[in-house]
A = this chain, B = another copy of it.
Amino acid sequence: MIDVMLNHRSIRKYKSDSVSEEVLNRILHAGTRASTTGNMQVYSIIVNREKELKDQLWASHFKQKMVQDAPVLLTFCADFNRFNKWCENRKASPGYDNFLSFFTAAIDALLVAQNVALAAENEGLGICYLGTTTYNAEKIIQQLQLPKFVVPITAFTVGYPDENPPLTDRLPVDGVVHYEHYKDYSDKDINSIYSEKESLKQTHELIEINQTETLAQIFTEKRYTKKDNIAFSQALLKVLEKQGFMNNG
């Protein structure tokens, strides 16, 4: 079990082999055993395998090639639609059209997603999370026909690996764990925590390719810019409003 976690790497190249119904059902079932708030299970999972719709979703995911190539794409959604309908059918008046309820449902969706991801890897499958899910939520909502009170939170591709990339680096455990209180980071701490990452061969290559002075500048100037983040923030808040989750009194 721990081995599956320790061996995790994102897989971006897949064999053409399909994922059987049996395997797919097993990993989805493992997902549904995750903890959810009050056991409400306010999430939904959308399975995409057909080419046409997967190609549309590929465009929403910034044309990342693995979305087209992987046999399966799973999208995990915050979903109060089902629960609200149940309440309304049971003489109960749901009060879940607010930000807290959205966030509760997002937590459910993410714990379920990680269960499914690990269950998939345990079956010999590879996965790759798609951060683009929240960037382009509005388009994905249209493509998957998500009703009010449903918002896509994360997604990943699933298939049998056709590559065996090395483990990616991580910050030292002590760099992300605090005991009792949060211990804020001195300049010296920052240097120590990031030193291994900064000394990697691929870091030096990245800096050369991107023609920046530091690795951090690749993040702030190329990959995750303020301009993009503000545009995506506005779009995501608009989606929450539109999907019915911003009636905060």
Contacts and interface: CB of A to CB of B under 8 A. Distances in A.
A134 interface: yes
A32 B131 CA distance: 18
* Range of interface residues on A (Cβ < 8 Å): 35 or more
A93 to B, nearest CB: 6
A199 interface: no
Interface in A162-212: 168-171, 173, 175-182, 184-185, 187, 190-191, 193-194
Cβ-closest 4 pairs across A and B: A95-B226, A92-B216, A90-B216, A230-B249
Interface of A: 1-2, 4-6, 8, 10, 25-26, 28-30, 32-35, 37-41, 43-50, 53, 77, 79, 81-83, 85-87, 89-96, 98-101, 103-104, 106-107, 110-111, 113-115, 117-119, 122, 129, 131, 134-135, 144-147, 150, 153-154, 168-171, 173, 175-182, 184-185, 187, 190-191, 193-194, 213-217, 219-221, 223-227, 229-234, 236-237, 248-249
